[in-house]
Chains A and B, each alone.
Chain A
Amino acid sequence: MPNFTGAEIVIKSLLSQGVDTVFGYPGGAVLPIYDEIFKEKQIKHILVRHEQAAVHAAEGYARSTGKTGVVLVTSGPGATNAVTGMTDALMDSIPLVVLTGQVPTFMIGNDAFQEADTVGITRPCTKHNWLVRDTNKLAETIHKAFHVAANGRPGPVLVDIPKDVQFADGIFKEPKEIKNTYHVRRVRPDNASIEEVSQAIRNAKKPMIYSGGGVINSGKKASNLLRMLVSKTNFPITSTLMGLGSYPASGENWLGMLGMHGTYEANMAMHDCDVLICIGARFDDRITGRTDAFSPNSYKIHIDIDPSSINKNIQVDVPLVSDIEIALKEIINTWEKGGSETQRTSIKKWWSKISEWKNVKCLAYKQAGEFIKPQYAIDRLEKITSKMDRYITTEVGQHQMWAAQYMKFEEPNRWMTSGGLGTMGYGFPSSIGVQIAYPKSLVINVAGEASWLMNMQELGTAVQYGLPVKQFILNNERLGMVRQWQELLHGERYSHSWSESLPDFEKLADAYGIKGITCSNPKYLDDSIEEMVNHPGPVIFNCVVEKHENCFPMIPSGKAHNEMILGEIGEKDSVDSAGAVLV
């Protein structure tokens, strides 16, 4: 068997895994691998400006394509800079393979230059990680890494490769030569539970479907099956932030997002329903609010690929550990075989109740005066771009929630946002990853000015690779979401929650040789958005908005779904001290 250097094996392994794009940043401990990348033309390497951005870009790439994202960084600071990105990917179940260089094996433990205990540091923020001490094990480990990242509940994995292992000779193996001992303990849903679910579908008088990112991770077919289930049963459906797009926003049964900043109708229906079908979501605290008052009278069904998600926060009646696609197929089949019955009359009544809630028009706002309301800005962005081949990423804060509320997603994989970790700085690099995957599509990062600054160095990456990403910055000169909480919970003491010394965004754009647009007048908003969309290159859009706008509706921490705040804050809605300790 011919031998290759470790660095060659890395590249050969990536190629045999079908990798075409790597996001990375070089350094001493990965130089042999970069030497191979220099020679190898099949793999596109995207040089970012910070390793955190490499990981977020790979996340954007992975989420928009359904493929596994690949990252290559150096030891020590390269690896530690990647930690936030990996934690983000772990929380949102995004498949990534992160390759890190390490000091040579004989120097490990000596506090060598740029040494860090990478596998130690990243153990809690990866699904699994490996330190490879033997070049002969390298190919095998990389193939296993790809297997683990994408199978079961997806997540980030890391392979730490000491420099001497990259130089040494060893054998290369193809993926099919590897025995994967990691078996997803994916019990196929048992027939009895499937029967219970179809029985529940038959009997439900006030049903509710609550779907999440698991549907998107399961693949396009899962989204199609979800749509089929909804249209056949006429059940109302809501989704988490992570699941937007798996059921189309234009669909008749769509109630909008649920949870802390979800719609009134979605949350009220969650609270009052009698059968709750959770599909690929995890009863996160942003969703449930006060858990003891969460959907108190419903018979709960939970479909998830990860058994540890079941009964973690909310006790359910029927757990189904399964891939979503498989489970939905079997549920629909079984229910149809049994006669496709539902409680039509009751469900009709349920829908009229839901229309009453809808009539509250919880997302209504009034654009008046000379300032742009942030809701209006998102609304206009939505209206102008909705028919386009469009991908949206976001940063974290109020703008993120407004984007989730006012933008309409018709397809899965079109919406990339940091859900579980809430990582400011996610959106810009993520938009770069998406644009790499879809060079011809319109990719917009809906940003807040504070978040955007956290990874603004990526302007360099966007310019270098000619990526026409649109940075749509809702500039309220505030750490808006923090300010909102201070208003609600901390007596309007706005401690360090404003953005001072902001750059002149147009000049910044100019400095990078790209287009900058500023708009502060609602009259010119449409034209400015058109200008941004029609510009062939990257754009920084500085959208100056109302500074003290709050994001509503809102379920304050420690409150139940039926205790939402709708509009302006009244005395009885204020959060009490028990809620204030929550995040």
Chain B
Amino acid sequence: MTDLDIKKGSNNKSAYNLRDPLSELTESHTLAVMVDNESGVLARVIGLFSGRGYNIDSLTVAEVDHSGKLSRITIVTNGTPAVIEQIKAQLERMVPVHAVHDLTVEGRTIERELALIKVAGSGEKRVEALRLADVFRANVVDSTLKSFTFEIKGTPEKIDAFCDLMRPLGLKELARTGVAALSRGK
């Protein structure tokens, strides 16, 4: 691969050391994979990632074309550019895969995620949680005298930020959908 920068005679390299994480910087990519919605298809895709040592940061899947029985799997992954290329090539050659779109390189994308967040507390903390929820446009979907459950949608970063703020205010439970993504325009 490009410039592994090994000092002569210092050590040995082989194919096993190829994915040296320090040799190249890793990048995060969002892939949209169109697949036949047949039994086992998700296991196949996940098995590819675990079997070949690729990372999955987020994964969502749902049927998007009921008549054509097509599902869209959105995967956020990270790796060196070479590994990302491998991931796409490996996905593309799977039999139930119709298309693989690397949204990260295909131009600007819209990424959205939904989260449900339970925050328990009282007094000042409870008020502050509510105030911040307002700032983030999170809705209260359930409330008791001791807790709120917020619903928030937005980019994963926005949700991360909201959760970080909620943590000291009594974040109890968190459920996230994972990323859904589309490319902009056209």
Binding site for B on A (CB under 8 A): 119-120, 123-124, 127-128, 131, 148, 152-153, 181-182, 185, 285, 288-293, 306-308, 310-313, 315, 557-559, 576, 578-579, 581-582
In the complex, the answer to whether A291 meets B15 with C-beta atoms within 8 Å is yes
In the complex, the answer to whether A315 meets B1 with C-beta atoms within 8 Å is yes
CA distance A291 to B39 in the complex (A): 39
Q: Which 8 A-B pairs have the closest CB atoms?
A: A558-B12, A308-B89, A128-B95, A578-B12, A285-B15, A307-B89, A292-B4, A292-B13
A153 touching B16 in the complex, CB below 8 Å, given contacts A124-B47, A311-B82, A312-B86 = no
In the complex, the answer to whether B44 meets A123 with C-beta atoms within 8 Å is yes
In the complex, the answer to whether A123 meets B47 with C-beta atoms within 8 Å is yes
CA distance A290 to B16 in the complex (A): 9
Name the residue of chain B whose CB is nearest to the CB of A293: B13
In the complex, the answer to whether A123 meets B14 with C-beta atoms within 8 Å is no
In the complex, the answer to whether B86 meets A578 with C-beta atoms within 8 Å is no
Q: Which residue of B6, B51, B89 contacts A124 across the interface (Cβ within 8 Å)?
A: B51
In the complex, the answer to whether B13 meets A558 with C-beta atoms within 8 Å is yes
Minimum CB–CB distance for B23 against chain A, Å: 10
Q: Which residue of A148, A288, A290, A310 contacts B12 across the interface (Cβ within 8 Å)?
A: A290
CA distance A293 to B4 in the complex (A): 10
In the complex, the answer to whether A310 meets B47 with C-beta atoms within 8 Å is no
CA distance A582 to B18 in the complex (A): 13
In the complex, the answer to whether A582 meets B14 with C-beta atoms within 8 Å is yes
Q: Can you spell out 11 A-B residue pairs with CB atoms less than 8 angstroms apart?
A: A123-B44, A127-B95, A128-B95, A128-B96, A285-B15, A289-B14, A306-B93, A308-B86, A311-B85, A558-B12, A578-B11
Binding site for A on B (CB under 8 A): 1-2, 4, 6, 11-18, 36, 39-40, 43-44, 47, 51, 82, 85-86, 89-90, 92-96, 98
In the complex, the answer to whether A308 meets B13 with C-beta atoms within 8 Å is no
A-B contacts at CB below 8 angstroms, number: 76
Name the residue of chain A whose CB is nearest to the CB of B86: A312
Minimum CB–CB distance for A110 against chain B, Å: 17
Chain B residues with CB under 8 A of A313: 15, 18
Chain B residues with CB under 8 A of A306: 89, 93
Chain A residues with CB under 8 A of B96: 128
In the complex, the answer to whether A185 meets B92 with C-beta atoms within 8 Å is yes
Name the residue of chain A whose CB is nearest to the CB of B43: A123
Chain B residues with CB under 8 A of A579: 12, 14
Name the residue of chain B whose CB is nearest to the CB of A314: B1
In the complex, the answer to whether B12 meets A307 with C-beta atoms within 8 Å is no
CA distance A289 to B16 in the complex (A): 11
In the complex, the answer to whether A123 meets B40 with C-beta atoms within 8 Å is yes
CA distance A291 to B47 in the complex (A): 27
Minimum CB–CB distance for A150 against chain B, Å: 13
Chain A residues with CB under 8 A of B47: 123-124
CA distance A315 to B15 in the complex (A): 12
In the complex, the answer to whether B36 meets A181 with C-beta atoms within 8 Å is yes
A290 touching B14 in the complex, CB below 8 Å, given contacts A120-B43, A123-B43, A315-B1 = yes
Minimum CB–CB distance for A384 against chain B, Å: 39
Chain A residues with CB under 8 A of B85: 311
Chain B residues with CB under 8 A of A182: 95
Minimum CB–CB distance for B93 against chain A, Å: 6
Q: Which residue of A128, A292, A310 contacts B6 across the interface (Cβ within 8 Å)?
A: A292
In the complex, the answer to whether A308 meets B44 with C-beta atoms within 8 Å is no
Minimum CB–CB distance for A223 against chain B, Å: 25
Name the residue of chain A whose CB is nearest to the CB of B44: A123
Name the residue of chain A whose CB is nearest to the CB of B1: A315
CA distance A579 to B12 in the complex (A): 6
In the complex, the answer to whether A285 meets B14 with C-beta atoms within 8 Å is yes
Chain B residues with CB under 8 A of A185: 92-93
CA distance A582 to B94 in the complex (A): 29
Chain A residues with CB under 8 A of B18: 291, 313
Interface centre among B40, B47, B93 (most CB of A within 10 A): B93
Minimum CB–CB distance for A477 against chain B, Å: 32
In the complex, the answer to whether A315 meets B11 with C-beta atoms within 8 Å is no
CA distance A123 to B18 in the complex (A): 26
CA distance A182 to B93 in the complex (A): 10
In the complex, the answer to whether B93 meets A307 with C-beta atoms within 8 Å is yes
Chain A residues with CB under 8 A of B1: 291, 315
CA distance A559 to B43 in the complex (A): 38
CA distance A293 to B92 in the complex (A): 30
Name the residue of chain A whose CB is nearest to the CB of B36: A181
Minimum CB–CB distance for B92 against chain A, Å: 6
CA distance A240 to B18 in the complex (A): 21
Chain B residues with CB under 8 A of A312: 86
CA distance A181 to B14 in the complex (A): 38
Name the residue of chain B whose CB is nearest to the CB of A557: B14
Minimum CB–CB distance for B58 against chain A, Å: 23
In the complex, the answer to whether B11 meets A153 with C-beta atoms within 8 Å is no
| Other 10 A-B pairs with CB < 8 A, given A128-B95, A315-B82 | A124-B47, A127-B95, A182-B95, A285-B15, A288-B15, A290-B12, A292-B13, A306-B89, A311-B85, A558-B12
In the complex, the answer to whether A153 meets B12 with C-beta atoms within 8 Å is no
CA distance A581 to B11 in the complex (A): 12
Chain B residues with CB under 8 A of A148: 95
Chain B residues with CB under 8 A of A290: 12-14
Minimum CB–CB distance for A69 against chain B, Å: 19
Chain B residues with CB under 8 A of A581: 16
Name the residue of chain A whose CB is nearest to the CB of B13: A292
A315 touching B2 in the complex, CB below 8 Å, given contacts A182-B95, A292-B13 = yes
Minimum CB–CB distance for A472 against chain B, Å: 33
Chain B residues with CB under 8 A of A123: 40, 43-44, 47
CA distance A181 to B2 in the complex (A): 37
Chain A residues with CB under 8 A of B15: 285, 288, 291, 313
CA distance A123 to B94 in the complex (A): 11
Chain A residues with CB under 8 A of B13: 290-293, 558
CA distance A128 to B44 in the complex (A): 9
Minimum CB–CB distance for A87 against chain B, Å: 12
A576 touching B43 in the complex, CB below 8 Å, given contacts A307-B89, A308-B89, A311-B85 = no
Q: Which residue of B40, B92, B94 contacts A119 across the interface (Cβ within 8 Å)?
A: B40
Name the residue of chain A whose CB is nearest to the CB of B11: A578
